[in-house]
Amino acid sequence: MARLAVAVTALLAASGTVDASPASLRCKAHPSCRWPPQQEWELFNKTVQGHLLAPPPPAGVCHTNQKTYNADQCAAVTKEWPDMNFHIENPVSLFMNQFNNDTCLPDPKAPCSDAGYPSRVVDARSVKDVEAAVRFARTNALRLIVKSTGHDYQGRSSAPGALSVWVHHLDSINYRPGPFKLSGSGRSIDGNVVVVGGGAQMGNIANVLSKVNQTIVSGQALTVSVGGYITGGGHSALSPKFGMAADNVVEMQVVLPTGETVMANQDTNKDIYWAVLGGGGSTFGVVTEYVIKTHPSPKIFGISLILFMLQKNDTIASEVLGSFSSFIPDMMDAGLAGYMVLGAGLDSPSPYLPPSIDGFEGQLALFDKGEAEWNAIIRPFNETLNTRFKGQAKLIAITQEYNSYNDWLQVVADRNPAGVNAWMASRLLDKEALSNQEVMGKTLWSAGSNPDASSVFFFLVGGKGVAANKGLNAVNPAWRSAYVHTITVSGFAPLNETAAKHSADVVDSLYQPLRDLTPNGGAYINEAFHFEKNWQKTFWGDNYDRLLQIKRRVDPDDVFWCAPCVGNERWQQDKTGKLCRV
């Protein structure tokens, strides 16, 4: 019986018009069908300077049926499996196991094969390697995917039997004081930039820029690379000040589905520039280089904000969270940004508090401001807490000043484990939604206290800076009015279709009230429910029609295909793992 992740991608593909095609091209080539002979692979390997890999399953060392079996190495892999860096440095492994079909886990009692992984990988060390890979996939009708670090919560950077372009080692980082001249037009752009390879990781970029007191719009995960982050839009605690990461891209180098490399900016290849920035990864081409605006790093007034209920009371907890939500737009307009977790049974951040708390914890920031501004921002909510909810909840703020954004980011960085099975749901929340205290409170507490879900992640990453760049690129229009990006997650046991379905049902139902509350809103493609029913509208809104037109023009043969991705309606993955026309 086919395991879940092979089947789930097929569930996503919407019905579409069947293209007239030769019967032989009804499906992409697969190791079981129309696979290039070994001689062609050997010639191709020479073309890519010996950078073609046929990686074994990453946990194959734990399984006696695999050639790589090694009991000592199995112990090491088992220990490293939850570590992000293990999956980053492996050419085929992702952070979330289900997208490799749970095919080979570090459990000797579980089955193991390579069926859920790409069959071949080009470890790209140059643009020419990427060009050659795209052309080879196009010529041989191979399924083609792109992986950088594996921070992919939609599974787009893995596919069974595919040829994968691994851009992890395209990781150059070069700071260039401005102005910068655009390719093609030669028009000068004021300000400083950093030129980075498509696989460069955010933490490494931040460390280079910190030496010149500069920063870029980057997220909470230091190990994520620019590639998928920017093509999805890229949110950040700096977004309320400087916009989305995609809004800060000056220019990029893209290998198109033809294998041709072009420069794209606001003057040259404008449609590519518009579409790639927010239109999603692995869709319009492979980005091998970004030119990104840098900003003088602000000093950070950091706030660890903790609210905990003084007694168990679901009704009061719901009302407190609803009330707090209604204050957020004004707080953010005054300069507040950052990351929060809401829910029941949160691990206590302080030895002076109970071991677990019901309420929220936040790592928040003000840029180039201080204690006086913070006190003014939090005062209205604190007054409400002390009147409407007197004796019901307590608010604590622990503040610390940081010399730079990077210094603060090192403290609040995402260090969640990898190598897990989980589904998530998310929604972008505007001022009107956040002001609906009843719905917000009930939904947040319902999700945050549900035993089958994680806490609620509540990211203050929208607001003024994001709104200011409306129409600049293909970033979901819902971002332009949003203040908060919220997520809930439900984990499940591997190799268990029933548990996986239950997990998906849990997060879907928990966040349905937020969909109902924001009927014209949407969700962030990079962190969203994998089975969104109306995913085109949810992830791209009114931008979808233009994105689809560009996709059909630049990639009429669907060299790039993923789910949920622009233009994927003409294909679906069957239960054997093959990608075939609808």
pLDDT digits (tens, 9 = 90+) for 262-293: 999 999 999 999 999 999 999 999 999 999 99
> What CATH class is the domain 38-166?
alpha beta
How far, in Å, CA of 554 to CA of 272, rounded?
Answer: 9
H-assigned helices in 310-400: 314-333, 371-387
Q: What is the pLDDT of residue 341?
A: 98
What share of the chain in percent tops pLDDT 90? 93
99: DSSP letter: G
**In the predicted structure, residue 2 carries a pLDDT above the cut 90:** no
**Helices 437-448 & 314-333 angle (0-180, nearest 10):** 120
Find the helix or strand (DSSP H, E) in which 504 lies.
helix 497-517
Question: pLDDT class for 12, splitting at 50, 70, 90?
Answer: very low
Q: What is the pLDDT of residues 147-184, one digit of tens each?
A: 999 999 999 999 999 999 999 999 999 999 989 999 99
Instruction: Give the 3-state secondary structure of 371-384.
Output: HHHHHHHHHHHHHH
Instruction: Kindly tell me if the per-residue pLDDT of 5 is higher than 60.
Output: no
C-alpha dihedral over 478, 523, 542, 278, to 10 degrees? Answer: 90
Q: Which fold has domain 300-403+416-532?
A: Vanillyl-alcohol Oxidase; Chain A, domain 3 (3.40.462)
The predicted pLDDT at position 351 comes to: 84
The CA-to-CA distance between both ends of the chain, in Å, stands at 22
CATH class of the structural domain 173-297: alpha beta
- Which tens digit of pLDDT belongs to each residue from 169-224? 999 999 999 899 999 999 999 999 999 999 999 999 999 999 999 999 999 999 99
Domain ranges for the chain, please list them: 38-166, 173-297, 300-403+416-532
Residue 395 binned pLDDT confidence (cut-offs 50, 70, 90):
very high
| The pLDDT value given to residue 3 | 38
Q: Please give the pLDDT value at position 175.
A: 99
For residue 17, what pLDDT is reported? 32
Q: What is the mean pLDDT of residues 104-133?
A: 98
- Residue 7 clears pLDDT 80, i.e. is over it: no
Q: What percent of the chain has pLDDT over 70?
A: 96
Look up residue 62 and give its two tokens: 């734990």
Average pLDDT on 534-544 reads 98
| Rounded Cα gap, residues 368 and 267, in angstroms | 34
Q: State yes or no: pLDDT of 99 exceeds 90.
A: yes
Confidence of residue 24 (pLDDT cuts 50, 70, 90): low
Q: What pLDDT was estimated at residue 495?
A: 97
- Is pLDDT larger for residue 13 or for residue 132? 132
* Whole-number pLDDT of residue 250: 98
Return the SS3 of 459.
Answer: strand
Q: What does the block give as tokens for 540?
A: 């791209």
pLDDT of residue 438: 98
Q: Give CA 5 to chain center in angstroms.
A: 18
> Which amino acid is present at 317?
A
Q: How many CB atoms lie within 10 A of CB 388?
A: 12
389 residue type, one letter:
F
pLDDT confidence band for 576 (50 / 70 / 90): confident
pLDDT of residue 184: 97
Q: According to the model, what pLDDT value does residue 352 have?
A: 83
Ranges assigned E (strand) in 246-351: 249-255, 261-264, 286-293, 295-296, 300-309, 337-347
Helices and strands in the chain: count of H runs, count of E runs = 18, 22
pTM of the predicted protein model: 0.94
Report helix, strand or coil for 339: strand
Mean pLDDT of the chain: 95
Stretch 234-241: mean pLDDT? 98
296: CB partners within 8 A, 6+ apart? 213, 214, 215
Work out the pLDDT band at 465, boundaries 50, 70, 90. Answer: very high
pLDDT of residue 23 exceeding 70, the answer is no
pLDDT band at residue 247 using 50, 70 and 90 as cut-offs: very high
Residue 418, pLDDT > 50, answer: yes
Q: Look-up: residue for tokens 């790093």?
A: 297
Looking at residue 358, what is its pLDDT?
97
Mean pLDDT of 327-338: 99
Q: How many CA atoms lie within 13 A of 378 on its CB side?
A: 22
The two structure tokens encoding residue 473: 């690129």
